[in-house]
Amino acid sequence: MVVVGLSHKTAPIAVRERLAVQRDALPALYTRLLADRSIGEAVVLSTCNRVEVYAAPPRGGSLEATSRATIGALAAIGGDAVTMHLGRKEGGDAVRHLFRVASSLDSLVVGEPQILGQLKDAIELAREGKALGRTLGKAMLRAVRVGKRARSETAIGEGQVSVSSVAVDLAQEIFGDLTGRKAALVGAGEMAEAAAKLLAKAGAKIIVLNRSPARAKVLAYEVSGEPRGMQELERTLGEVDIAIGSTSSPTPVITVDLVKRVRKVRRGKSLFLIDIAVPRDVEPAVNDLDGVYLYDVDDLSQIVAQSLEGRAAEAARAEAIVEEEARAFEHWTLERELTPTIVGLFNRTRAVLLAELERSFAGRLKHLGAAEKEALLVMVDAATNKLLHAPVTRLKELAGDARAEGYVEAVHDLFDLSAIALDAITLGGSDGSAIDGAITLPTPGTNGKAQSPSSTIPRATVQASSAGTPAAATLASTSASASPREVAGAKDLG
Cβ(114)–Cβ(164) under 8 Å? no
Ligand-binding site membership of 49 (annotated): yes
**C-alpha–C-alpha distance, residues 339 and 437, integer Å:** 9
**C-alpha–C-alpha distance, residues 253 and 186, integer Å:** 9
Ligand-binding site membership of 47 (annotated): yes
Residue 469 dihedral angles phi and psi, to the nearest 5°: -100, 155
- CB proximity list for 235: less than 8 A, separation 6 or greater: none
Ligand-binding site membership of 220 (annotated): no
Ligand-binding site membership of 189 (annotated): yes
**C-alpha–C-alpha distance, residues 293 and 196, integer Å:** 18
- CB proximity list for 302: less than 8 A, separation 6 or greater: none
Ligand-binding site membership of 443 (annotated): no
CA angle 175, 177, 179 (to 5 degrees): 110
Ligand-binding site membership of 250 (annotated): no
Ligand-binding site membership of 114 (annotated): yes
HSE of 250, CA atoms in CB hemisphere, 13 A: 9
In terms of Cα–Cα distance, which of 102, 101, 449, 324 is closest to 87? 101
Ligand-binding site membership of 191 (annotated): yes
Is position 48 annotated as part of the catalytic site? yes
In terms of Cα–Cα distance, which of 93, 274, 263 is closest to 183? 274
**C-alpha–C-alpha distance, residues 73 and 91, integer Å:** 20
Ligand-binding site membership of 324 (annotated): no
CA angle 244, 250, 251 (to 5 degrees): 70
In terms of Cα–Cα distance, which of 442, 451, 441, 476 is closest to 461? 476
**C-alpha–C-alpha distance, residues 159 and 155, integer Å:** 9
In terms of Cα–Cα distance, which of 259, 251, 302, 295 is closest to 276? 295
Ligand-binding site membership of 55 (annotated): no
**C-alpha–C-alpha distance, residues 154 and 148, integer Å:** 10
H helices of 129-210, in order, are 134-153, 163-175, 190-201
- CB proximity list for 122: less than 8 A, separation 6 or greater: 43, 44, 45, 46
**C-alpha–C-alpha distance, residues 326 and 458, integer Å:** 30
**C-alpha–C-alpha distance, residues 56 and 143, integer Å:** 15
Q: Which of 48, 82, 206, 334 is catalytic?
A: 48
**C-alpha–C-alpha distance, residues 441 and 341, integer Å:** 13
Ligand-binding site membership of 372 (annotated): no
CA angle 143, 248, 242 (to 5 degrees): 105
Distance between first and last Cα of the chain? 18
Ligand-binding site membership of 190 (annotated): yes
Per the DSSP assignment, residues forming a β-bridge with 2 are: 55, 90
Ligand-binding site membership of 309 (annotated): no
Q: E strand or H helix at 152, and its extent?
A: helix 134-153
| Active-site residue list | 48
Known binding-site residue numbers: 47-50, 107, 112-114, 118, 187-192
Residues tagged in the binding site annotation for substrate: 47-50, 107, 112-114, 118
Residue numbers belonging to the annotated binding site for NADP(+): 187-192
